[in-house]
Structure 1
Amino acid sequence: MAQASKEPCKKEACDIQACLSKNNFLPQKCLKVIENLQSCCVKCDYKSTHCASVSGLLKQMPK
């Protein structure tokens, strides 16, 4: 049986870093992966250290 990760949103955070690196660090090019991290953080009640960065990214997203 799979054990719950101590960092449940690590994959999503890594996906964002990879996306930003590929897209000249423009968050608007990575909206889907940013939304994936946000969803993960909601699911784990923000109990991942990787969720701290999502609020800054969300502020940069177009309304």
Structure 2
Amino acid sequence: MAQPSKEPCKKEACDIQSCLSKNNFLPKRCQKVIELLQSCCEKCNYESTHCASVSALLKQIAK
């Protein structure tokens, strides 16, 4: 049986970095990907180091 990942939201965090670099670092253009990270963080109770930046990204989208 597969072990749970120590960094459960790593893929989503990497997807955000990729999206931001393709979109001139404008968070509004990556809203869907950021929401996927938020969802992942909620599922793992924010126990991934990759969840630390999600609230700041969500604040940038709201602007």
TM-score surpassing 0.5? yes
What is the TM-score normalised by the length of structure 2?
0.95
**What SS does the aligned partner of 1:28 have?**
helix
- Name the residue aligned to 1:22: 22
Moved over 3 A (4+): none
- Superposed CA offset, 1:2-22 (max 9, x none): 210000000000000000000
Q: Residues of 2 paired with 1:23 and 1:34: CA distance?
A: 13
The percent of aligned pairs where both chains have the same amino acid is 81
Unmatched tracts of structure 1, length 5 or more: none
- Name the residue aligned to 1:44: 44
- Superposed CA offset, 1:1-43 (max 9, x none): 2210000000000000000000000000000000000000000
Unmatched tracts of structure 2, length 5 or more: none
- Name the residue aligned to 2:34: 34
